[in-house]
Amino acid sequence: MSGTRKLHIKSYGCQMNVYDSQRMTDTMARAGFVATPTAEDADLVVLNTCHIREKAAEKVYSELGRIRKLKDGAARDGRRMIIAVAGCVAQAEGEEIIRRAPIVDLVLGPQNYHRLPDLLARAEHGIKVVDTEFPLEDKFDHLAPASRAATRARGVSAFVTVQEGCDKFCTFCVVPYTRGAEVSRPVGKIIEEVERLADAGVREITLIGQNVNAYHGEGPGGAWSLARLLHRLAQIPGLARLRYATSHPRDMAADLIAAHRDLAALMPQLHLPVQSGSDRILAVMNRRHTRSDYLDVIARLKDARPDMAFTSDFIVGSPGETEDDFAATLAIVGEVGYAGAFSFKYSPRPGTPAAERPDQIDDAVKIERLARVQAEIDRHQAAFNQACVGRTRDVLFEKPGRLPGQLVGRSPYLQPVHVMAPTSMIGDLRAVAITRAGANSLFGELAKPAERGPAHSPSAVTVAETVLETSVEI
Ligand code: SAM
Ligand code: SF4
């Protein structure tokens, strides 16, 4: 392949897909492709899909309908547009995608992205390609790293996949089938990638994985825990902040909880999905913990770091969920004092045990419960944001805001914070006096150094909550 061609990748779903899309972009850059923000002028369009809920897959098919018109238009102009479907819908549906949407030339699963240049070459010869095997080789060994320029363009906060797949088999979830068994990347590769990112100006790293706190990658001396990895990454010059997502309550090991006490760079915010507040439903879900186990983990984290705030995921209308079960879910929102959460209607996924159950809940009931749980979450989120007013927060400035002269950054709790400040401060960590709270974000002014409060003050957060839109969904 030679010459410059254009690549458009549209990502659906979680941050792991965003990360994968970036790595595909970097790999295709080596094959002469430049990224384009629109599908219209692309030579290769990749839809990087999500299969976690029904609607996500349907969105892909309706997008393919739109792209068909673009592909037809390109053909009329004498231009060939190759359409690829990647990600978890590709893994789950395979050839069915080409049957349902014949404009698709190439279907590739999440473990095969490194093969994209070769698969593209085959598709260009008119062969319909489906590659959803779980290969023996590690895709990360073959995916190209981002150039310095690409890293800088992506901003001061970056995601790094450290773990993929899941062995937990929650009865509602399709991930173990689409992403495969739990695999951790080796420590050395992660350090190398994070050092390269930090060297290009990245100040904040979020380690991501479907079950990130089950991390057990090979490092010097054997398998390293996530806590040990975080301790090592915290030593990398230039890095100001570390985060990780998404965690399973069962895997919150003692050393990881202690890392929240010992590592200043590790932010006091944790996305720890509980899914349901009812022990009966947790058992049906095969979550392998009870409500009280979960609350115990929260208490230990707060002991380790009193200013911790938590976000969560909830599923309402799971098979067999009674009004009492749902009341227990509403109650846990208040008990933990969540700062925000994602909440979903249960969506039966073909091939998962929960989808086979006869006691499915009516959609009308699911809709009503979703509204009630979201209202409860919103109430706590608003209280959390309001509790920040009058306090000083460290803000990592990320990009210009909507108003001239304004920047947007993130608080330690991932809240967007809008501040009048010069663009030269992008990438800086600054103390900001919070003056106002909106529904999903904060507003503030640069604080003089003397106004700055102690970073680990237990009183820094009175309501342990954080912001919905800023949570990382994995
Ligand atoms: N590994 C994470 C954990 O154990 O919490 C969750 C990963 S999953 C990709 C993200 C979220 O999607 C889950 O926490 C769950 O709330 C939601 N989810 C997964 N399967 C679902 C389903 N069948 N219906 C509705 N929501 C679902
Ligand atoms: Fe694994 Fe999370 Fe899905 Fe459970 S919900 S099977 S832990 S990815």
Residue by residue, pLDDT tens for the chain (474 residues) are 446 899 999 999 889 999 999 999 999 999 999 999 999 999 999 999 998 888 777 889 999 999 999 999 999 999 999 999 999 999 988 999 999 999 999 999 998 999 999 999 999 999 999 999 887 778 888 888 888 989 988 999 999 999 999 999 999 999 999 889 999 999 999 999 999 999 999 999 999 999 999 999 999 999 999 999 999 999 999 999 999 999 999 999 999 999 999 999 999 999 999 999 999 999 999 999 999 999 999 999 999 999 999 999 999 999 999 999 999 999 999 999 999 999 999 999 999 999 999 999 999 999 999 999 999 999 999 999 999 999 999 999 999 999 999 999 999 999 999 999 999 999 999 999 999 998 889 999 999 764 444 443 333 332 222 233 334 455
254-262 and 291-304 helices cross at what angle (nearest 10)? 30
What pairing do the DSSP bridges indicate for beta strands 340-345 and 157-161? unpaired
Q: Is 294 in the pocket of ligand 1 (CB under 6 A)?
A: no
Å from CA of 273 to ligand 1 middle: 8
Å from CA of 134 to ligand 1 middle: 22
What pLDDT, on a 0 to 100 scale, did the predictor assign at position 54?
83
Amino acid identity, position 307: D
| Residue of minimum CA distance from atom 12 in ligand 1 | 52
Find all residues with CB under 8 Å of 356, minimum gap 6, and list them.
none
Å from CA of 22 to ligand 2 middle: 24
Residue given tokens 């944790």 in the structure block: 270
Compute the distance between CA of residue 71 and CA of residue 102 in angstroms, rounded to an integer: 12
What pLDDT, on a 0 to 100 scale, did the predictor assign at position 416?
97
What pairing do the DSSP bridges indicate for beta strands 309-316 and 340-345? parallel
Compute the distance between CA of residue 50 and CA of residue 210 in angstroms, rounded to an integer: 13
Residue 405: exposed, middle, or buried by beta-carbon count in 10 A (0-12, 13-18, 19+)?
A: exposed
Ligand 2 atom at minimum distance from 474 CA = 8
What pairing do the DSSP bridges indicate for beta strands 33-35 and 5-11? parallel
Which of 392, 390, 444 has the alpha carbon at shortest distance from 416? 444
Ligand 1, pocket-test mutation among 287, 313, 366, most atoms within 8 A of CB: 313
Å from CA of 297 to ligand 1 middle: 20
Compute the distance between CA of residue 420 and CA of residue 422 in angstroms, rounded to an integer: 7
Q: Is 176 in the pocket of ligand 2 (CB under 6 A)?
A: yes
Q: Is 275 in the pocket of ligand 2 (CB under 6 A)?
A: no
Reading phi first (left if > 0) and then psi (alpha if -120 to 50, else beta), residue 336 is in alpha
For 169, phi and psi rounded to 5 degrees?
Answer: 50, 55
Closest ligand by atom to 355 CA: 1
Ligand 1 atom at minimum distance from 347 CA = 24
Å from CA of 88 to ligand 2 middle: 14
| Residue of minimum CA distance from atom 19 in ligand 1 | 173
Q: Is 252 in the pocket of ligand 1 (CB under 6 A)?
A: no
Secondary structure letter of residue 52 according to DSSP: S
| Residue of minimum CA distance from atom 7 in ligand 2 | 168
Closest ligand by atom to 294 CA: 1
What pLDDT, on a 0 to 100 scale, did the predictor assign at position 474?
52
Compute the distance between CA of residue 258 and CA of residue 235 in angstroms, rounded to an integer: 17
Before 470, cis peptide (omega within 30)?
no
Ligand 2 atom at minimum distance from 210 CA = 8
What pLDDT, on a 0 to 100 scale, did the predictor assign at position 3?
64
Ligand 2 atom at minimum distance from 275 CA = 5
Q: What is the CA radius of gyration of the chain?
A: 23
Amino acid identity, position 350: P
Q: Is 168 in the pocket of ligand 2 (CB under 6 A)?
A: yes
Find all residues with CB under 8 Å of 101, minimum gap 6, and list them.
61, 64, 65, 68, 85
